[in-house]
Structures are given as C-alpha cells and as structure tokens.
C-alpha cells in the first residue's frame, strides 16, 4: 500500500513539473510571438525621413519622425529621405548650335519635398529625374554655340535646373541645382584651339616687344638730345662703355690721355646745325 502511495505521489510531482515546463514553454512562445508582433508593428523614422502609410492599399497619411505604429499585414509604409541627393547624369553626347559634337558629364541635386505626391505619382523618382535631366541637357546644348557653352557654363546649368524643376514639381521633388562637371571636345577641335591660343600668345608677345622698342626709341632719342647738349656727358658715357667692354671680354684698351676726339664730331654736328 505504501508503494502505491509513493508511486502516486511521484506521479503527481512529475505531472506538476511537466505542467510547469509546458506553461513556461507556452509563456516563452507567447513572449516570442508578442516581441515579433511588436517588432513588426513599430517603426522608427529618423528626423530626416518621412513615411507614407497605406492601410489595405489606401493612403492613411504621412507619418514621422519618431515612433510609428502599424498593423502587421494590413499596414505598409514607404520611406522617403528629405535630404539633398546627388545624382550623376550619364555622360551625354550632343551637338551644339554650330554643329560641334561634345560630351557633357553633369550631376543633379534634388530632394523630396512632398512624400505623398512622390509616392502616388512616380515609382522611382531618382532615375526618372536623371533621365529627364539628360534629355533636357541635350536639348539646351543644342540651342547654344560652342563658345557660349564654354564661357557661360553656370547660366546653362541654371537653365537646365529650371526646366527640370518645373517638370518634376508635380512629383513632389525639388531640383536645387545642376552642375556641369566636364565638357569633352573632339581631339581635332582641341588641337585647333591650342593652335589658336598659341597664335594669340605670339601676337601678344610681338605687340609687347614692339611697344617696348617704341618706348626705348623715345628714351634713346631723349638721351641723344641730352648728349648733344653736353659733350662731357658723351665722354663719360664713352668711358663707361669702354670699361664695360673691357670687363666683359677681358680686354686691355689703350686710349689717348684725353677723349677730345669723341667730342669733336659732336661739335662739328652742332656747328652744322647752327649754320
């Protein structure tokens, strides 16, 4: 009898332990399910983002920043970054107004200003804006000649940005700027421009040299007039020239004790002028 009671007691204890284990397992499963549901129901939207919330396919509104609660399976959200994004426009080959083929590399700066419009009107706004910007770039380049394209790059970039911004405004996107990074010209044209630049430099050098010679001739003329009025100055200048020649060529120059023979032609010339 005592054995039966012991067995019954052991069975009761085992059953209680099993119930506790099962309860603990069920509680753990419940906690896991609850955490999973909460993790799928809570979204954290940063300050620089906004999210468009849909419930069963219908728009609920724009939510964020901070904690956002959604119903799993029923609710979905689409996130949009409100910061300025830089999009590289693929290199475009275009013809200018004067039929010169150029390759232009550009970038476009844009940002989402109305996430709701962006979610409802365009699927992928970044490639859509990039493709339209590339088309606009070719059109604008075709309306200007090469000189205008090279010298007024900023104005052309602003014009492209204005046209693209006007087109993408209904998408809830704002184009802040367009930057033309590089303009590649054909090799033949580059060589011609280099030759033209070299010829211009040669022309300026010749003009500068001619101007210098003209100024020097006026100075020489003034010096000659002064020397003609002062024979002593001519002698001093002659002595100075002889010293320079001797020093430069290591020569020994023998001169008469006076340099009156230098002043003699000047005196004859002055006499002829008086007559």
DSSP code for 122:
-
Handedness of CA 5, 10, 13, 15 (dihedral sign): negative
- 71: Cβ–Cβ under 8 A, 6 or more apart, which residues? 41, 55
Predicted local confidence at residue 91, as pLDDT: 87
Predicted local confidence at residue 233, as pLDDT: 64
Q: 125 with 171: CB under 8 angstroms?
A: yes
Whether this model's pTM surpasses 0.75: no
Predicted local confidence at residue 146, as pLDDT: 85
Q: Is the pLDDT of residue 51 over 70?
A: yes
* Secondary structure (DSSP) of 27-45: HHHHHHHHHHHHHHHEEEE
Distance CA 15, CA 33 (A): 26
**Average pLDDT of the segment spanning 201-217:** 79
Predicted local confidence at residue 264, as pLDDT: 45
Tokens of 159: 């014009």
- What are the domain boundaries of the chain? 1-42, 83-185, 187-229, 233-274
Higher per-residue pLDDT: 271 or 246: 246
Question: In terms of CATH architecture, what is 83-185?
Answer: 2-Layer Sandwich (3.30)
Residue 172 three-state SS:
coil
Q: What percent of the chain has pLDDT over 70?
A: 74
Q: 68 with 42: CB under 8 angstroms?
A: yes
Ranges 17-21, 72-76, 258-262, most confident: 72-76
Distance CA 173, CA 166 (A): 10
DSSP code for 169:
G
102-140 pLDDT, tens per residue?
A: 888 999 999 999 999 999 999 899 999 999 999 999 999
Q: What ranges make up the beta strands (E) of the chain?
A: 42-45, 49-55, 58-63, 66-69, 75-81, 85-95, 101-112, 173-184
Q: Is the pLDDT of residue 88 over 80?
A: yes
Predicted local confidence at residue 269, as pLDDT: 43
């Amino acid at each position: 009898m005592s054995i039966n009671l012991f067995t019954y007691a052991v069975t009761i204890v085992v059953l209680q332990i099993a119930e506790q284990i099962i309860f603990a397992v069920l509680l753990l499963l419940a906690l896991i399910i609850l955490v999973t549901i909460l993790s799928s129901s809570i979204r954290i939207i940063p300050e620089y983002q906004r999210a468009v919330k849909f419930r069963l396919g219908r728009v609920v509104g724009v939510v964020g920043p901070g904690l956002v609660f959604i119903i799993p399976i029923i609710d979905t959200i689409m996130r949009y970054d409100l910061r300025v994004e830089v999009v590289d426009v693929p290199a475009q080959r275009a013809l200018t107004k004067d039929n010169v083929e150029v390759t232009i590399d550009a970038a476009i700066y844009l940002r989402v200003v109305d996430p709701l419009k962006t979610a409802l009107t365009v699927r992928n706004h970044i490639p859509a804006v990039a493709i339209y910007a590339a088309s606009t770039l070719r059109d604008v380049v075709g309306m200007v000649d090469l000189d205008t394209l090279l010298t007024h790059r900023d104005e052309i970039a602003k014009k492209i940005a204005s046209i693209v911004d006007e087109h993408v405004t209904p998408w809830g996107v704002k184009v802040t700027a367009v930057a033309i990074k590089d303009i590649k010209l054909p090799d033949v044209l580059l060589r011609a421009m280099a030759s033209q630049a070299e010829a211009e430099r040669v022309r300026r050098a010749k003009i500068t040299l001619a101007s210098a010679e003209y100024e020097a001739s006026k100075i020489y003329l003034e010096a000659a007039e002064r020397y003609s009025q002062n024979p002593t100055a001519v002698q001093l200048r002659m002595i100075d020239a002889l010293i320079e020649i001797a020093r430069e060529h290591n020569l020994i120059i023998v001169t008469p004790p006076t340099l009156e023979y230098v002043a003699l032609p000047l005196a004859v010339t002055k006499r002829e002028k008086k007559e």
